Structure 1
Amino acid sequence: MTLATAHRHVEITEKGESFVSLTSSQAARLQELRFCRVSPTTTPDVWRITDVTRIGVVAIDDVRLFIRPKTELQSLIFMASYAGGQASVHDDSFAFDSENDVPAALAAALVHEVGVATRRGLLKGYVSVADTGTVIRGRWDIARQLKVRPGIPSPVELTYDDFTEDVIENQLLKAALRRLLRLEQLSPTLRGHVSTSLALFVDVSDLTYQRSVPVPAESRLNAHYRPALWLARWILEATSWAHALGTSSGSTFLLNAALVYEEFVGRCLRDVLEPEGFDVDLQVSDWRLDVDGKVHLRPDIVISRDGAIVAVADTKYKVWGATGASPPNADVYQALAYAITAGVSEAHLLYVSGDVEPQQYEIAATGTTVVAHTMELSGGPSELVFRLRDVAEDLLSHTNAIE
């Protein structure tokens, strides 16, 4: 990929620290984006960048900051597209070696998945339509008739279901493809592939939404669309989040890799455990630690059986275990609060990398044990799912929930 000569290309790391030459104004605007910490150094106009929480690319004047993920792009793309039960996924379907930055890799992945999803044509479904006509079709909307044309029998206000390609699934894919064409860093070849895919949706209306990107309810009918839909969602969120903070929508793309990891782990655990009779709830938001309900808790993963909670876990998109040190105190306190609120004797922390056996930390004062697990994110999609199955077995074996 080549950039215009007027742009300065700078790479920073997702974790650790990077030193970048910026003006004071550029440093201040980067800090305002709230995805990293920008600190001055003893060298004039050289700034220390740490605590990076997004990956992708951000443009500030003539500077293009490329934030490289600590996770392999192949694994990241697979996690972003994972929609559950993808038994037919092959590792070679997620090889994007020619696209070495996050926006381009996601664009290539979406083009691939759109091609797979629409191989037999666009998805169709029934959509409720409000229309006006002289011939009765569907249901006569009497309330609307009286409101729009009181006392006038014709034309008639009608409501009916139309079997059409203009469904939310196609609207979502169209919106993501159009958003990709605004990204200046896509290569001409990849831009051409995106344009070709977009042409499939010429008769689909534009997607409208207020805040969060809508995700269609999963069903048997849209199962073949799910990987493409999840990729589309991440693309729209990565561009919408940046644009909402006042950046140029044509040059900034910031993806929350921690959230991608969190949702992948949760959905994969659900696919593994629900067939075994467990219920897996993700992002439970109605927990309170105190009696008055003022201290809110939001565990990532809650596993129950027959209505009783048997395990609670939180994902941590951070490396732990390589040095043999215990997890950060704040993580342990959080897990302890979950265990106490759930009334279980153990809570689990799911870290990335580290490649160590689960470690247990017994809290004598409460009789609670916090168990830290790690998951290596390198390798192909089949390896990632296999490792998650091991984590699921470890998690439940620690709770003594497997009979």
Structure 2
Amino acid sequence: MNLRHTRSLRCGDVARPVELKEGDGWTTYDLTPPQLATLAAHPRLLALHPESATRWRLKAKDRVGSVRLGSGEGTVQLTITPKVPVDRLLHLVAYAPDRVEFDPRPVTAEPRPDLLPALAHAFVSAAGHALGQGVLHDYRETYDTLPVVRGRIRHADQLRRRPGVPVPLEVVYDDHTPDIPENRLLLAATRRLLRVPGLDPVLRAALQRLTARLDGVRVLPAGARPPEWTPGRRNARYAHALVLAELVLRGGSYELGDGRHLAVDGMLVVMWRLFEAYLARAVGEALRHRVGGRPEPQDRSHFLDTAGQHPLKPDLVHYLPSPHDAVQRPAAVVDAKFKTRPQRDDLYQMTAYCVRLGLSEGHLVYASGSPGSVDVLVGSERLRIWRHIVDLSRPWRDLAADVEALAQAIDSARTTRSG
């Protein structure tokens, strides 16, 4: 038991802070009955244990972030601080924004303009991919006054504004334009990032090229809400960049902490899920750039049994063309573990992946610890299971280099074993 803090929460209509740390011990709070009821209604977020009628011990579970809970006298702002620094957390979020739960109820937070560079690299990459096939256009109904007919004449407006005058004409037409919500959102995020001080010059130049690509798109007025967009086939290639753009505009520059300066949307993240998604996508992209092929994060197309009742759930399967035919086959399997030490079950799981996928090596990636390998006998064959480390305590700028090194190690292991 580790009772490190004792705080008193007074009753009132204003949200009272409850501050916990990921992976920390118990923290004691004096809670009013309404505040206790609010926290007890969210067992996924924290555990509670009574000391007395009004004193309770609290401990965070596997989510980090800040969220406003309850109402009236029971309103609480729960903040669970991650073990990793916030800039590293946001670097992970940039690769897996779909793993973030946003809550529209405002929480208070501390402005941190130095955090946005953690998102800028991923945003530039995603936006470049989105615009690689050209800037998305759509038709928009436009009302205009022209000296010639274009589209349809607005007869009522023409008679009201210019009775008996033949020109200019009041017309309405469909304009094929880049000035659509998706492009406005990308432009707004790009301009927001360009205002961040201390950006790497190469990154700043890439952002300026994005603004040039979005010529003809209107700039959002100051204070305007980001435009809404609806995912679909038309804008599918924009989807990742748009989610990152929303993250930049809705709160990429705030600390998850004490918050007396600024109101932002609440945000909660399950760290182990975020780590898995980050590793799968970042390593998959690094392998694709290095050796080609097709990365499949969270691949669910393989089963342990012949009846297809027990799906395998590796975080990443990377496919390469077979040397004998054009069919792409599994070439590497990677599984991320947000743990401090390896466990035997991890070896069992990776052995099953390798056997089912027909691979002679597998790769486990941990957030801390020491690298190594284990040889496993399967019949007369020998599997090698590698243990890699991507240390989240390192500066976020170094994480990209670590991922590149991991992709190189995976490819080297594959070519060495196949050779």
TM-score for both structures, normalised by structure 2: 0.58
| Aligned mates of 2:406, 2:315 — CA distance in 1 | 15
- Deviations, residues 372-395 of structure 1 (Å, cap 9, x unaligned): 322212233332122222322333
Q: Which of 59, 84, 97 in structure 2 is aligned with 1:49?
A: 59
Q: Which of 372, 394, 398 in structure 1 is aligned with 2:409?
A: 394
| Aligned mates of 1:159, 1:130 — CA distance in 2 | 5
Q: 1:277 to 1:396 in 2, by over 3 A?
A: closer
Q: Which of 80, 85, 101 in structure 2 is aligned with 1:67?
A: 80
| Aligned mates of 2:407, 2:392 — CA distance in 1 | 16
Larger radius of gyration: 2
Q: 1:257 to 1:359 in 2, by over 3 A?
A: same
Q: Which of 261, 269, 289 in structure 2 is aligned with 1:255?
A: 269
Instruction: Give the alignment of 1:281-320 within 5 angstroms.
Output: 281-306=296-321, 307-320=328-341
Q: Tell me what 1:79 maps to.
A: 92
| Aligned mates of 2:64, 2:136 — CA distance in 1 | 38
Instruction: Give the alignment of 1:90-169 within 5 angstroms.
Output: 104-105=111-112, 109=116, 113=120, 125-129=135-139, 131=141, 137=151, 161-164=176-179, 166-169=180-183
Local SS of the residue matching 1:54: strand
| Aligned mates of 1:346, 1:296 — CA distance in 2 | 20
| Aligned mates of 1:396, 1:381 — CA distance in 2 | 24
Local SS of the residue matching 2:137: strand
> Partner letter of residue 349 of structure 1?
L
Q: Is the 8 A contact 1:345 1:367 kept in 2?
A: yes
- Deviations, residues 258-313 of structure 1 (Å, cap 9, x unaligned): 44433432333234322332422212232322222222333221122211212111
> Partner letter of residue 62 of structure 2?
V
Give, in angstroms, the shift of residue 33 of structure 1. Answer: 4.0
- Deviations, residues 232-256 of structure 1 (Å, cap 9, x unaligned): 3488799xxxxxxxxxx96632134
Q: Tell me what 1:11 maps to.
A: 19
| Aligned mates of 1:24, 1:334 — CA distance in 2 | 45
| Aligned mates of 2:311, 2:110 — CA distance in 1 | 35
Q: Tell me what 2:366 maps to.
A: 351
Local SS of the residue matching 2:116: helix
| Aligned mates of 1:235, 1:257 — CA distance in 2 | 22
| Aligned mates of 2:303, 2:84 — CA distance in 1 | 34
Give, in angstroms, the shift of residue 362 of structure 1. Answer: 2.3
Greater strand share, 1 or 2?
2
| Aligned mates of 2:313, 2:184 — CA distance in 1 | 32
Local SS of the residue matching 1:318: coil
> Partner letter of residue 387 of structure 2?
A
Q: 1:126 to 1:73 in 2, by over 3 A?
A: closer
| Aligned-residue RMSD, C-alpha | 4.8
Q: Is the 8 A contact 1:75 1:380 kept in 2?
A: yes
Q: Is the 8 A contact 1:14 1:55 kept in 2?
A: no
Q: Tell me what 2:237 maps to.
A: 217
Q: Tell me what 1:327 maps to.
A: 343
Q: Is the 8 A contact 2:48 2:58 kept in 1?
A: yes
Instruction: Give the length in aligned residue pairs.
Output: 315
Q: Tell me what 1:222 maps to.
A: none
- Deviations, residues 72-102 of structure 1 (Å, cap 9, x unaligned): 222223333359xxxxxxxxxxxxxxxxx98
Q: Is the 8 A contact 2:93 2:274 kept in 1?
A: yes
Q: Tell me what 1:40 maps to.
A: 49
Instruction: Give the alignment of 1:230-245 within 5 angstroms.
Output: 230=244, 232-233=246-247
Q: 1:51 to 1:332 in 2, by over 3 A?
A: farther
Percent identity of the aligned residues? 20
